[in-house]
Structure 1
């Protein structure tokens, strides 16, 4: 899983973590508090996500998730399958909504997918991300309710 995440960090265009985010930190971040799920083709991991309550107690009815798709698997529908799976899993676990707290506005493929799957921009974080090529860009907070399907 680190082999998928590490190149995405190096891209400097989608995740807030930088060069100091090492494998041990990744393992703590990815596995310490929420279950992780993977999309595989045979033994090869193509993508992954982790999901859990966005906040404890009074905010525990809203889920949040983080996704990563291997470079060679991007553009093949893996991300969509991961998000759809997470929405269904969140419903099964009794969550009422899904919220993403930090989506880089220039991540066009992610934004397009999330919009197609019913997410709306709930807020804008002005110049919250230091993009490797574009400089300071906005991030979005995205939200959707998890009505029964």
Structure 2
């Protein structure tokens, strides 16, 4: 991991940097089920406006630039609230610096500290090799793959992994 990465809770002032990381990933349509033409306001509501969600940023310790972002929240309300769900985005120009791993550790540690018992990812695109490898290295297993559940702009219909780990 690049030790010049600082992971912290996001603030309202971080939104421009979060959007700068999110927008190219969402527009590419290769890893998220959100509409590729999602507006900035819609993305902000989805990413930062969900009640109970904890939003983090990974920032460059030298200049404060947002390199990636993550959020975690209960996977379901009520009787399912002890299982967390999370989403992660690394800015395209920050790949390979350990940003995803730093965010992954921070989310797992935060969720554990808040009393979550497990974490589940409901929709990891099976062709997202870097993410699948990262989550496996952090102790997640693929519980199932929903066949042809994601319409990838290059690969066509591909599966979505459901990944899980206990905390």
Q: Distance in 2 between matches of 1:63 and 1:9?
A: 22
Counterpart for residue 7 of structure 2: none
Q: Secondary structure at the match of 1:114?
A: helix
Counterpart for residue 128 of structure 1: 149
Q: Distance in 2 between matches of 1:65 and 1:36?
A: 10
Instruction: Give TM-score scaled by structure 2 length.
Output: 0.85
Q: CA deviation at 1:20?
A: 2.7
Counterpart for residue 17 of structure 1: 34
Instruction: Give TM-score scaled by structure 1 length.
Output: 0.95
Q: Tell me which of 58, 67, 78 is aligned to 1:39.
A: 58
Does residue 117 (structure 1) correspond to residue 123 (structure 2)? The answer is no
- How do 1:11-90 and structure 2 match up within 5 A? 11-33=28-50, 34-41=53-60, 42-90=63-111
Q: How large is the Cα RMSD of the aligned pairs?
A: 0.8
Q: Distance in 1 between matches of 2:80 and 2:31?
A: 26
Q: Distance in 2 between matches of 1:145 and 1:97?
A: 4
Q: Distance in 1 between matches of 2:118 and 2:42?
A: 28
Q: CA deviation at 1:118?
A: 0.6
Q: CA deviation at 1:13?
A: 1.1
Q: Distance in 1 between matches of 2:73 and 2:136?
A: 21
Gaps of 5+ in 2: 1-17
Gaps of 5+ in 1: none
Q: Distance in 1 between matches of 2:156 and 2:88?
A: 23
